[in-house]
Structure formats: structure tokens, C-alpha cells
Amino acid sequence: MAKTVCGLVPVYNNPKTIGKVVAGLQHYIKDVIIADDGSNAETRAVIDQLAAQDPAHIHVLHLPVNRGKGAAVKAGLQQALALGFSHALQVDADGQHDLGDIPQFLECMQAAPEALILGAPQFGNDIPAIRKYGRKLTTLMIALE
């Protein structure tokens, strides 16, 4: 896959989990873009330390203020294009995504490189009802699109 796919991690104040997420992501995808959504100084320091350890493969984009996950993802995707990547796989900085699923996404990307590939959330019994039904509504709206 050479330099066609990168990992994209939008982050906002996740200093304790971002390192583990980036390391896990790099097990499958060497190049990672961290889109910092106006995080606090502690998180920025952790992000900058990660980038300093692997400057050829960890690219950091610091947004000056928190504008929300969507804005961070959009900025990260723009950075991916500017760096020459054709694809990006986005995972959350809090560690909620199972990085062991990445090979399946990469296989789908290779099979259909023009497609937008989305994961479906798996809900446990402990999820708050508003989040559960909000996610289901969002998933339905995307499917209808």
C-alpha cells in the first residue's frame, strides 16, 4: 500500500490514551496524522512527544481552538490530501475502537478503493439510551444517503 493510506486520529484532551492508540494504529498503518482539536497543554505535550519520536511517520496538526470532532476530522483529511495520501482510516483517540479490525478495513479498501468504508458500532447493554438511539439514527441517515 506504500504511501496511499494513513491513520487519522482526531484528539481532544486524551493525554492518557493517545499514545497507545497511535502505537496500535502504527502496527497496521505506519503513517498517522494526529488532528489536535485545541487540546490542553498536557495533551499537546504528549502529542508533540509522539511526533518527535517518529517525525517521518507521525504528522501533527494543532488546531488553535476546539471546533468539534467533525472539524478535526475534516482538517485531518485535508492534511492527508496535502501529504499525498489517497485514503485515511479514522479512529478515536480514547481507545474505544478495536484496532484489531483494521486489517478488514484495509482489505475492503484494496477491493474497492473508490468506496467510503464505514464501521458499524456495536452497542453493549451499558450504553446510555440517548447515545444508543442517536447513533442508530445517524447510522440510518447515512444509509439513506
pLDDT at 2 over 70: no
Q: What is the number of alpha carbons within 13 Å of residue 132 lying toward its C-beta?
A: 8
Q: Note whether 19 and 59 are same-domain residues.
A: yes
Q: Give the side-chain half-sphere CA count within 13 A for 121.
A: 17
CATH number of the domain where residue 19 is located: 3.90.550.10
Q: What is the pLDDT of residue 122?
A: 67
Instruction: For 37-55, write each residue's pLDDT tens digit.
Output: 999 999 999 999 999 999 9
Task: Specify whether the CB–CB gap between 92 and 20 falls below 8 A.
Answer: no
Judgement on whether residues 47 and 90 belong to the same structural domain of the protein: yes
Query: In this structure, are 136 and 86 located in the same domain?
Result: no
Reply yes or no on whether the pLDDT at 18 is more than 80.
yes
Dihedral sign for Cα atoms in the order 74, 76, 81, 87: negative
Are 110 and 128 in a shared domain? Answer: no
pLDDT of 134: 75
Quote the mean pLDDT of the chain: 90
Percent above pLDDT 90 for the chain: 69
> pLDDT digits over 98-134, tens only?
999 999 999 999 898 888 887 766 666 776 777 777 7
Tally of CB atoms within 10 A around 68:
13
Task: Give the three-state DSSP class for 141.
Answer: helix
**How far is the C-alpha of 17 from the C-alpha of 110, rounded, in Å?**
29
More confident residue, 22 or 112: 22
102 and 127 part of one domain: no
Same domain, yes or no: 63 and 108: yes
User: Which grid cell is 60?
Assistant: 501533527
> Residue 137's domain spans which residues?
121-145
Judgement on whether residues 129 and 90 belong to the same structural domain of the protein: no
User: In the chain, what is the straight-line distance between the N-terminal and C-terminal CA atoms, in Å?
Assistant: 29
For the chain, how many structural domains are there in total? 2
Q: Specify whether 107 is located in the same domain as 127.
A: no
Q: Are residues 90 and 134 in the same domain?
A: no
